[in-house]
A and B are shown apart, each in its own frame.
Chain A
Amino acid sequence: EAGVAQSPRYKIIEKRQSVAFWCNPISGHATLYWYQQILGQGPKLLIQFQNNGVVDDSQLPKDRFSAERLKGVDSTLKIQPAKLEDSAVYLCASTLDRINEKLFFGSGTQLSVL
């Protein structure tokens, strides 16, 4: 079974630039999550999708972050404009459905904002 795919693996940008991350969940997984993991901290949920609908985006900084999952499969997370404090690993995870607690994570995209 293929895992959660994410790209790119690394990204370096300057502050105020924009950046986008891509995630393809495990086939058949209806629920998709984006987490932010700052160095030395645990992952923090940014947004949760059920199919192509948003379930929870309460911790997403909506003035600069946006995410979509248009066809209920792969997803894109965008930051525009980036700030220094956005430097982190952005992890995508998926699970069969929203009542299933077992999340499968991708390897993440490491973002450095200079």
Chain B
Amino acid sequence: QKEVEQDPGPLSVPEGAIVSLNCTYSNSAFQYFMWYRQYSRKGPELLMYTYSSGNKEDGRFTAQVDKSSKYISLFIRDSQPSDSATYLCAMSAGTGGGNKLTFGTGTQLKVEL
């Protein structure tokens, strides 16, 4: 079993839709949770960063962490064609782990006009 599981998609939605992306994990030591966006032929770009459980909102993006269920989500409201990319979840145990990130496989998202 992988430490971090993520549905690879692809996920295709119409413009304006609400998108839900999810990851599950098995390592209870993970405390820091991140979502990266990766456009084709580019490096990952940090989108959301959350410590421990709870919600965090930034514009059209909301990140949720449920440590009791070992489940994290990223919601994108009013999705735009420019949101078309691969979304990677990443996790770290924190300082003790030397901020070594464990990534999911990524979910490919396409937002259609």
Contact = CB atoms under 8 A, between A and B. Distances in A.
A98 B105 contact: no
Interface residues of A, number: 26
Contacts of A93: 43
B43 A101 contact: no
B98 A105 contact: no
Interface in A18-62: 31, 40-45, 48, 55-56
Interface residues of B, number: 26
Given A45-B100, A48-B98, A56-B98, A101 B32 contact: yes
Contacts of A100: 99
Contacts of B44: 43, 91, 105
A98 B98 contact: yes
Nearest to B106: A42
Interface of A: 4, 31, 40-45, 48, 55-56, 91, 93, 95, 98-108, 110
